[in-house]
Amino acid sequence: MQNKYNSETLGLMPLPYSIYKASKNDLDAVAKIEHALFGHHGYPAFFFRQAFDCWGSGFYVVKSDVEKSRADEDHLSITVEQNEVLGYLLLAPSDEGVHKKAWILSVGVSESAQGKGVGQALLKHACEQSAQYQQVFLTVDPDNIGACKLYESLGFELSHLEQNYFEAEDSRLVMVFNNH
């Protein structure tokens, strides 16, 4: 399934892209983005292969639509190749409790495509595709103000702060999107 979003319709600098279900061919690019963004907190490359097998229906990628696109905003240029993976999102069901829940296990946008509406489009798409779940959860670093604001703007609410989420002194906000 393909869902067309573009940064112009979201009021951002033009960067045409579409959202697709991930394919095996996308997994290396996803792992590279994950590692670049999250370092030692990121999932290893083999996890994405296993996640593809387990939760492929909720594994989305954003790819560029143009053969080659150059964009300039405040004198910062980016070059995007056709079908380049610009971002990804992994949504996985949870069998916790009696209500149907899902977790966004990972979402990331390549540094060159950040601020262009790619993450917003991915999250909107995931929320639209998650109607079968009563709630969709995610975690975020409390210091990542930009991500927190983005999630809130899309309807995610703070559930709670979990101390030592990954390791000592590494807390995470747990946020929830309620499908009504």
Per-residue pLDDT reduced to its tens digit, 92-149: 999 776 679 999 999 999 998 998 899 999 999 999 999 999 999 999 999 999 999 9
Specify whether the CB–CB gap between 92 and 105 falls below 8 A: yes
Q: Which residue's entry shows tokens 């009504």? A: 180
Angle between helices 27-38 and 45-55 (to 10 degrees): 120
Q: Where in the chain are the domains?
A: 3-178
**pTM of this prediction?**
0.82
Q: Does the pLDDT of residue 10 top 80, yes or no?
A: no
Q: Does the pLDDT of residue 13 top 50, yes or no?
A: no
Q: What is the mean pLDDT of residues 151-159?
A: 97
Specify whether the CB–CB gap between 75 and 106 falls below 8 A: no
Strands in the chain per DSSP E: 3-6, 16-21, 59-64, 68-73, 76-81, 85-94, 101-109, 135-140, 157-162, 172-178
Better-scored residue on pLDDT, 84 or 31: 31
Q: Which CATH class is domain 3-178?
A: alpha beta
Q: Does the pLDDT of residue 30 top 90, yes or no?
A: yes
